[in-house]
Amino acid sequence: MTAYAIDDLEPSPFDERVAPGYDAGSAHMFAPEVLGPTVDVLHELAGKGPALELAIGTGRVALPLTERGVEVHGIDFSEAMVAQLRSKPGGDRLPVTIGDMATTQVGSGYRVAYLVYNTITNLLTQDAQVECFRTVAAQLAPGGAFVIEVFVPQLRRMPPGQTAVPFHVGQRHVGFDTVDVVTQLSVSHHYTQAGEDADGRRIARYGASAHRYVWPAELDLMARIAGLTLRDRWADWDRSPFTAESQSHVSVWTKAAE
């Protein structure tokens, strides 16, 4: 069994080495069939009110949402990722606070706050994830919504004794997770093609990041602790039904209206 101690792990770095190539490495998330429904749902939830994006990164979601007329504020701990956002058209006009998404408060009255693309798992303890819910709830307007997009742990694919499970196998990238089912900590390992050597042999670049996976029911309890109530859960942004076979979910919790 793989055993991880929290002090031995680091979250995804998103530093000067990663940020410049982040968009290219996540190109599939920019595809219209992926990004379009994401922005549609968030635009509907925001209405005429402001939106708060946790881990705003390079602005994949925030920029098109802003183009829809939504006022978006962002939080991110990575100055390198925010620098990439600032280099894009309109990125210099987005208000972004550098800070920890679990504890940083930037305002109040948000109609929607959102955390996409599995980023809740970058918080490596249950306490940090609970605190994130509390921090968001304190900033939501009455009736406001908190939205999370995250994978469903695929531990059913792992027979007893197995500690690794692949999540992507392609010609240019191979990725797998090594998992500690006791602590719910995992490490994502990435081997990415990085060119060829003088003899024409492919060179692979290795990278790793730590995560704490979290179950849907566990998230619901975190929301309840923060005073939020589950309103919707879908398998994807297209609002397809969430089932026992779903590999990810988009969940919406709401704050009670006054």
Instruction: Give the per-residue pLDDT at 12.
Output: 64
Q: What is the pLDDT of residues 36-54, one digit of tens each?
A: 999 999 999 999 999 999 9
Q: Is 227's pLDDT higher than 50?
A: yes
Neighbours of 131 (CB within 10 A): 19
Rounded average pLDDT over 230-238: 98
Answer with the residue of higher pLDDT: 6 or 132.
132
Q: What is the pLDDT of residues 168-208, one digit of tens each?
A: 898 888 999 899 988 999 998 989 888 888 888 889 888 88
Q: Which of 26, 66, 27 is nearest to 43 (CA)?
A: 66
- pTM of the complete model beyond 0.85: yes
Q: Is 23's pLDDT higher than 90?
A: no
Q: Which helix (H) or strand (E) holds 85?
A: helix 79-86
pLDDT tier at 1, thresholds 50, 70, 90: very low
Beta bridge partners of residue 202, listed in sequence order:
196
Q: What is the pLDDT of residues 101-160, one digit of tens each?
A: 999 999 999 999 999 999 999 999 999 999 999 999 999 999 999 999 999 998 877 888
Rounded CA-CA distance 72/77 in Å is 17
* Helical axes 126-139 vs 216-225, angle rounded to 10°: 50
Instruction: Give the per-residue pLDDT at 61.
Output: 97
Which token pair is 170?
């392609």
Answer with the residue of higher pLDDT: 206 or 65.
65
Write the Ramachandran bin of 240: left for phi over 0, alpha for psi from -120 to 50, otherwise beta: beta
pLDDT tier at 13, thresholds 50, 70, 90: low
Least trusted range by pLDDT, from 20-24, 67-71, 158-162, 214-218: 20-24
Write the Ramachandran bin of 23: left for phi over 0, alpha for psi from -120 to 50, otherwise beta: alpha
